[in-house]
Homo-oligomer: A and B are copies of this chain.
């Protein structure tokens, strides 16, 4: 099947990761995480994030975010996020339903929060009529394809902590961020004050699997119950853990992410040469947003599937992934040019 640019989760599974699943398929092991693969995968996360990191594997990104937020909140709390955040726009209200909290959506054109944007929402502390601000949640990479620099994360963490709040990072595309920033994972998350991280694997070549990482042991006493009650505890957990073994081995995650990012850069370069298309966001990771002539959308989608982000503009989103090829990008750009002439 022709690859498209719809989403990095339309891609399949990296061969090394698939192989690791097969390798873990040996006999019986205790379910729900008490197995050697999980032990080893947890050790790898501790290697990357620090020895006191606590790790909870879950099925998917929405599950990771909900488990993370549930651990940080009581139902009378509020979570502050960008209005484009996955937790606000793409999880069908799962965070509200499961945590009981209010989400406060901040308008920000590039998908990034700043202290200036967040500060107006930090009021009403101690006032029982007001949902109490408790978490700032950022996405790294953002849903608009943009990146936070470490200093920007630190500033938000300071703001959160100064108000007795927590900083959550939705890292569904954290590999793309680490690759683009050329920084270790922890240097722009834990080391900047992030309290809880949703660490994504699925969008970077895994079959399925995310990890919720806690850097503050005081927050984790209830998490195993929260994970089970939120239907995110996998019986045959070794098959998630084994994927992470391959993910980290020889920095596979980084190769995959660098490749996806590079493909986006090539696509960006191609697009910038095409008159009539306007790239609307900085291309910092593996996503490109562009306003295009409406007439090319349908014929283009027929060959290469992708999503229209904003019907009005119309603005489209093109995502690259670990398996995107340069040839596909050249073909895609060629088709656009043809459709425009």
Instruction: Please report A residues at the B interface, Cβ cutoff 8 Å.
Output: 1-4, 6-7, 9-13, 15, 18, 21-22, 24-32, 59-63, 66, 74-78, 88-94, 96-98, 100-105, 123, 128-132, 202, 207-208, 222, 224-236, 239, 305, 311, 321, 323
Contact = CB atoms under 8 A, between A and B. Distances in A.
Copies of this chain, whole number: 4
27 contacts: A2-B27, A3-B28, A6-B31, A9-B235, A10-B31, A12-B24, A12-B28, A13-B239, A18-B22, A59-B231, A59-B232, A60-B233, A62-B228, A74-B225, A76-B93, A76-B222, A76-B225, A88-B102, A91-B229, A93-B101, A93-B131, A93-B229, A96-B96, A104-B105, A105-B105, A129-B228, A208-B208
A35 B195 CA distance: 37
Closest 8 CB pairs of A and B: A76-B225, A93-B131, A9-B235, A3-B28, A97-B100, A1-B27, A92-B228, A63-B231
Given A18-B22, A75-B96, 15 more contacts: A1-B28, A6-B31, A32-B128, A63-B231, A66-B231, A89-B129, A90-B130, A93-B101, A94-B228, A97-B229, A128-B227, A202-B235, A202-B236, A207-B236, A230-B231
A289 to B, nearest CB: 17
Contact of A27 (B12, B235, B236): B12
A246 B305 CA distance: 28
A18 to B, nearest CB: 6
Contacts of A311: 123
B239 A60 contact: no
A29 B9 contact: no
Nearest to A70: B75
Contacts of A59: 59-60, 208, 231-232, 234
Given A92-B129, A208-B236, A228-B91, A25 B18 contact: yes
Nearest to A59: B59
A28 B129 CA distance: 20
B27 A3 contact: yes
